[in-house]
A = this chain, B = another copy of it.
Amino acid sequence: MNAIILSIGDELVLGQTVDTNSAWISQQLASVGCDIVAHMTVGDDQHAVEQAIEESVGRCDTLIISGGIGPTEDDLTRQALAAVMKTPLELHPAWIDHMRTIFTKLGREMPESNKIQAMIPRGATIIWNHAGTAAGIDAPFQSGDQKTTCRVFVMPGVPREMKAMFARDVLPHISQLTGGAAIVSRTLHTFGLGESTVAERLGELMKRGRNPSVGTTVAGGLVSLRVNARFASSEEATRQAGISREACQVAMGDLIFGEDADTLALVVSRLLKAGKSADASSAAGEARVLTVATAESCTGGLLAKLLTDIPGSSAYFTQGWVTYTNKSKYERLGVNEEVINVYGAVSEPVVDAMAKNARRLARSDFALSISGVAGPDGGSATKPVGTVCIGLAYATPGSAARGDARFAESTTAVKTFQLHGDREMVRLRASFMALTMLRYHLLNKSLPF
């Protein structure tokens, strides 16, 4: 059981609107075990739509079309479908009545142009639209020699109307046709290693033809693993996806920081909220939320922004400094100008002092500091663009003052990284690396790079 998804609209093919319908429909189809052969997009051109339908019906069991069934002259999907089916369009009186009711409620006369929306190819059935005037079409396609059969569903292009119609009246049919088979997907996120190194670690798991399959995707500075399990039942697919996920976990270890919608900041926030820490506070048996402060130079607030993306972040994030100039590093965080002169603003002694002083001023459990060369300018032979120093200050074990680790002396871990990418990517990777340093600290493990 497989499907092709066809989207119709000039705004799509011209790139003025990003097609989000196809991705959504794909996810829905996959969830009931329907394979997706391809997505196609053509403009509001009857010949192009006819050609796309003709090519598709021979290559799939189900063709899912969205768009081109509005009331205007550039909506030509129903005409194209009728032409390919070699059958005339017929008026569907019940839908005419329904549209009249809609317009009466709006206190308006139904424009003549809307009548076309009640026309469907002979032999097809109307799919009710509970949110608009564009009725859907459920058409059984059969070639003259009866060799090719395909079930064609036509839906509106407006995402809200399409989704309601698909969920209510299309998906149940498809689910029945696939007879219970399902694809279950899991996405696991890693940060810090390149895609090829991740692939090497996964080894046999990524072998082509394996089921569940394991693939990698690079996006937003992360390398993510996708596990897709395709089995006869949803239970078996879920079980098998779970087994492969475990295998990925074994291969990658703590480099996998989260799944699906998890972000690095979210995962760190969970660890802070759990109060799991190897520092003085947990030794003292406290179970409060741990807090973090930030002191940023090249990332210019991005690290704090990531930490506060999460609702309720005030529980663990107290405050942050963006000390962009050398002067502000001294005035705000007491970083000795002498230290900056000797070692440079991008140096381990500087981030060491930034983290220590930020932690002391904020009286937080942790402070993260970043100073680097984000580029495109400012690089040198010894500190090229991408050189980033990161500091993590935490309570020196056993030094808690007044029984509160937040008043304890600081110990710092500092490290220099060579990150690649453009300014935006270096800033993002630097922030991710800082979060990763804190994450490993909270896991009580040492950083693997």
Contact = CB atoms under 8 A, between A and B. Distances in A.
Given A16-B226, A74-B206, A308 B313 contact: no
Given A303-B301, A314-B324, A322-B320, A23 B12 contact: yes
A196 interface: yes
Contacts of A317: 300, 324
B305 A301 contact: yes
A20 B22 contact: no
Of the listed residues A108, A308, A331, the one surrounded by the most CB atoms of chain B closer than 10 A to its CB is A308
A322 B300 contact: no
Contacts of A325: 314, 318-319
Interface stretch (A38-46, A240-248, A271-279, A395-403): A38-46
Interface stretch (A86-94, A216-224, A349-357, A407-415): A216-224
Contacts of A199: 71-73, 113
A200 to B, nearest CB: 6
A83 to B, nearest CB: 15
Given A300-B317, A304-B322, A324-B317, A38 B42 contact: yes
A92 to B, nearest CB: 18
A23 B15 CA distance: 4
A195 to B, nearest CB: 6
A418 interface: yes
A101 interface: no
Interface in A291-336: 294, 296, 298-305, 307-309, 311-314, 317-325, 327-328, 331-332
A303 B302 CA distance: 9
A331 B358 CA distance: 13
B196 A72 contact: yes
Contacts of A219: 17, 158
A183 B312 CA distance: 48
Interface in A227-266: 228
Contact of A322 (B105, B301, B327): B301
B311 A375 contact: yes
Contacts of A425: 160
A284 interface: no
A131 B421 contact: yes
Contact of A195 (B12, B18, B70, B377): B70
Given A23-B19, A196-B113, A40 B37 contact: no
Contacts of A302: 301, 305
A174 interface: no
Given A314-B325, A322-B320, A324-B308, A25 B17 contact: no
Contacts of A180: none
Contact of A215 (B16, B18, B213, B228): B16
Given A22-B41, A27-B15, A111 B196 contact: yes
A300 B311 contact: no
Interface of A: 7, 9-20, 22-30, 36-44, 48, 52, 55, 70-74, 102, 105-108, 111, 113-114, 131, 133, 158, 160, 183, 185, 187, 194-197, 199-200, 206-208, 213, 215-219, 226, 228, 294, 296, 298-305, 307-309, 311-314, 317-325, 327-328, 331-332, 361-362, 375-377, 418, 420-425
Top 4 A-B pairs, shortest CB-CB distance: A300-B308, A15-B26, A301-B301, A301-B304
Given A17-B23, A74-B216, A301-B320, 5 more contacts: A16-B185, A19-B39, A39-B41, A74-B206, A309-B423
13 contacts: A10-B228, A13-B36, A14-B26, A14-B183, A15-B29, A71-B196, A72-B199, A105-B420, A131-B422, A302-B305, A314-B325, A318-B325, A319-B323
